[in-house]
Amino acid sequence: MRTNARQHLDSISEGDRTYLESLIREDFERCHPGETLEDLKRRASFSKEDRGLLRDWMAVAAGRAAAACEAKASPPRPITSAVFAGPSPDVADSIEGSPPHRDPPSARRGAGVK
């Protein structure tokens, strides 16, 4: 493990650690049936493998926290009708060199289907 990462994880406050653990607790327990995050934390104090596993899970939590922070910081992008309108007529006409297929209105309503 890189020394910087270990020092960083060791230096986080108890409140931050609790928050980070809340971001991964459910997923950890789903991935490791019959175990809790508390079990892993206890074993990590004397097991190099469990210490590495806990470090990896905490890195996932830190990534989730960073993503949540970034999502709050960036303003939402406006949704425009152009996003949902599909290709412009010029683009549709250029597909396979033919005009776009246009169903008659009766075909779209299922006319004639019994």
Query: What is d(CA 75, CA 82) in angstroms, rounded to the nearest whole number?
Result: 20
The whole model's pTM is what? 0.56
Query: What is d(CA 108, CA 97) in angstroms, rounded to the nearest whole number?
Result: 24
Q: Are 97 and 68 in contact (CB under 8 A)?
A: no
Per-residue pLDDT of the chain (114 residues; tens, 9 = 90+): 444 545 455 667 788 899 999 999 999 999 999 999 999 999 999 999 999 999 999 999 999 999 988 888 766 666 555 444 555 555 445 455 555 556 566 555 555 555
Phi and psi (nearest 5°) for 17?
-60, -45
